Amino acid sequence: MRILIAALALLATLAATAAAEPFAIARVHYDGGGDWYGDPTSLANLQRYLEETLGVETAEKEKVVRLMDEDLFRYPYLYLTGHGNIRFSKEETGRLRDYLLGGGFMHVDDNYGLDESFRREISKVFPEEELVELPYDHPIYHMVFPFPDGPPKIHKHDGEPAQGYAIVIDGRVVLYYTYQTDLGDGWEDADVHNVPAAKREAALQMGVNIIAYALSGQPERLP
């Protein structure tokens, strides 16, 4: 029943925001020297898994957008990853704030080495807000697939537990940040990182949860 509810809500949202156009994740092309293009096979695999799981029509590939692109607001779901430095210009900072406050959503996935610059730049976007760790009973961990212990641990990184942080505005999660997990590695083709099959499945399931939650009418909580 929960899967059906999430699927119907997701389909309704996509119909309203993208008409008949297949859903595509928009990967953020940022400046600063970091590899914004990291895990190149990941998003196509996640989109395919989303279609197989919830029946949502998805594009064959992700879209790539810069924050100042005219069509930024066409995409309800942004994804940002990398290992290195992020830098937003003053104009990009304001544009991202407008996008997120206007109903958009961003998932940031630390591919190891992104944390310091991401926290610096997002504090410029929302200087009055803090990244808060979401509790394990939050709907994002139970939307379609159950994750009672929070985001799955996919890559070793520093050996610390996987964590999920958020920027929450008026009860709505506008940005979700996965740290010490590296979901993107789990979404990549199986032979790229040699991630065990069970972890790849967990990463894809968590990816579906994030998308479904972002697009399914938050901030309502599940019963």
The predicted-structure confidence for 104-117, as pLDDT tens digits, reads as follows: 999 999 999 999 99
Q: Locate 111 and state its tokens.
A: 């591919």
Does residue 93 lie in a domain region? yes
List the one residue out of 37, 39, 106 whose CA is nearest residue 67.
106
Is residue 82 pLDDT above 60, yes or no?
Answer: yes
- DSSP, res 22: P
Does residue 177 lie in a domain region? yes
- Distance in angstroms (rounded) separating the CA atoms of residues 150 and 141: 6
Helix/strand/coil for 35 = coil
Does residue 223 lie in a domain region? no
Q: What is the CATH number of the domain that holds 99?
A: 3.40.50.12140
pLDDT in tens, 177-191: 999 999 999 999 988
Residue range(s) defining the domain that contains residue 170 = 2-215
Does residue 208 lie in a domain region? yes
> Per the structure, how many domains does the chain have?
1
Does residue 221 lie in a domain region? no
List the one residue out of 103, 97, 143 whose CA is nearest residue 123.
97
Does residue 220 lie in a domain region? no
Sheet holding 163-169, edge to edge: 63-65, 26-28, 77-82, 105-110, 172-179, 163-169, 132-133
Angstrom CA distances, 73 to 13, 48, 69, 193, stand at: 14, 23, 9, 33
Does residue 166 lie in a domain region? yes
Q: What is the pLDDT of residue 1?
A: 43
In contact, 176 and 151? CB cutoff 8 Å: no
Give the predicted TM-score (pTM) of the model. Answer: 0.90
* pLDDT band (50, 70, 90) for residue 220: low
- Distance in angstroms (rounded) separating the CA atoms of residues 223 and 220: 9
The percent of residues above 70 in pLDDT, for the chain, comes to: 88
Does residue 205 lie in a domain region? yes
